[in-house]
Amino acid sequence: MVQEINFDGIIGPSHNYAGLSFGNIASSTHAGQLSYPRQAALQGLAKMRHNINLGLAQGFFMPLDRPNSGWLNALGTGIDDAEAHIRAAAYSASSMWAANAATISPAPDSMDGKCHITPANLLSMPHRSHEWPDTMAQLKLAFANPDHFTVHAPVPPPFGDEGAANHMRLCTGHDGTGVEIFVYGKAGGPFPARQHVEASKAVVRKHGLPEDRVIFAEQSQQAIAAGAFHNDVVAVANERVLFAHEQAFAHRETFYAEVKQKFPQVEIITVPADKVSLADAIKSYLFNAQLITLPDNGGMALILPTEAKETAAVWSYLEQLVSGNGAIRKLYPVDVRQSMANGGGPACLRLRVVTDPKLVDPRFIATNKKLDIISGIIEKHWPETISPDQLVDDGLRKTVQNARRKLLEACSLLELQA
């Protein structure tokens, strides 16, 4: 049976606050602070359990090998000799934000009837630019069936691609044909736009998407300048619903008109700036929620960070929203504070794939029993805290690498060992 599967990135043992993500206000604000990798990973697992208990299909990806010695070697250095910013980039645990892992086009959308997957090159940020080879290895393992999946090489330089964080899909049901929306940027005051329109076009060509099922939309410069470094910080879609901030898109009315023309069933919910400011939307990650369809005709729900409930204007708007007769009926706040402090909410942590779970390598499919095993590994082997100045310690390197190996062993995924 075709389902939407949310693949969450397990938060790795090197999770730290080095402040590497220029344009990400939360990342910059918490730079240099003490991080809690064990707590972060357990918060991520709790969100997965929450989704499973709602009746949703749930998967996961392994954290990547850190520090990335191969990348350091290619730069002519090593972990002991690298400059501080390069060492921090080699230790980055940002692959936990699986929304940036790839762009997914489900089988009903493509002309050859296969699910197409393109890993994101993440060129705009050095600490993320070296993720894609190991990410692609996992994607090829999880989606190995060539009759149903095609995993492409990433878009080549110089065109930056940030994956599903700048991609939305509208459809009448998960197994129906969809319209895919590719959001790109140009500039945002002092902050760079991360998604290049040419990268989006390349993904469309690779995935074999017909022109009448594709929309390109420009993210507003105002949103990028305010700290919306990805579209999923200001907009989210699920089935027939597009939920977006009033200032999310550069040419909103033109974009909305094209959406209505290509997908007449759409319900567009625009959050007015005079109700929720861009600053409050970004601080609370209101739109970096998982907008999900509840089983058994339960309507739609938002899985939100607890910060949304703590932001008065946001929560007031949401309570009014769900009290009406619209598509979104329920709110589920979840605690992902460790991820939020580094700039990623509930939607950052997951990659949506629409397929039959039986077609996916079962090692990547979560159950409560499997999450119990993973939780035990994390509680025993993940560091309790990391400060950025610890990244020079050889003891931390050994702890981080041993922790990941224990997880790979427990999940029978040792072939991912570097």
Q: Which of 130, 348, 381, 411 is catalytic?
A: 348
Beta bridge partners of 170: 179
Q: Catalytic site residue 258?
A: no
Q: Which of 4, 162, 180, 307 is catalytic?
A: 162
Q: Catalytic site residue 180?
A: no
Q: Catalytic site residue 245?
A: no
Q: Which of 167, 230, 245, 381 is catalytic?
A: 230
Contact (Cβ atoms closer than 8 angstroms) between residue 102 and residue 155: no
Q: Enumerate helices (H) and strands (E) in the chain, giving the number of each.
A: 15, 15
> What is the pTM for the complete model shown?
0.96
214: three-class secondary structure by DSSP:
strand
What is the reported pLDDT for 192? 81
Q: Which CATH number goes with the domain that contains 361?
A: 3.75.10.20
- The secondary structure of 309-377 as a DSSP string is HTSHHHHHHHHHHHHSSSSEEEEEEE--HHHHHTT--TTTTEEEEEE-GGGS-GGGB--HHHHHHHHHH
What is the number of structural domains in the chain?
A: 1
List the beta strands (DSSP E) in 26-114: 57-61, 102-105
Give the tokens for residue 270: 């625009």
414: three-class secondary structure by DSSP:
helix
For 359-396, write each residue's pLDDT tens digit: 999 999 999 999 999 999 999 999 999 998 999 999 99
Question: What is d(CA 5, CA 353) in angstroms, rounded to the nearest whole number?
Answer: 5
246: three-class secondary structure by DSSP:
coil
Contact (Cβ atoms closer than 8 angstroms) between residue 141 and residue 156: no
Question: What is d(CA 326, CA 333) in angstroms, rounded to the nearest whole number?
Answer: 19
In one letter, which amino acid is 298?
G
Q: Which domain holds residue 90?
A: 3-416
- Walk along the chain (418 residues) in steps of 10 and give the mean pLDDT of each run: 94 92 72 92 98 97 98 97 96 96 97 98 95 98 98 97 97 86 88 92 98 97 91 96 98 98 97 97 95 89 97 97 92 95 91 97 98 98 96 97 98 93
CB atoms within 10 A of CB 221: 17
Beta bridge partners of 328: 300
Question: What is d(CA 163, CA 186) in angstroms, rounded to the nearest whole number?
Answer: 16
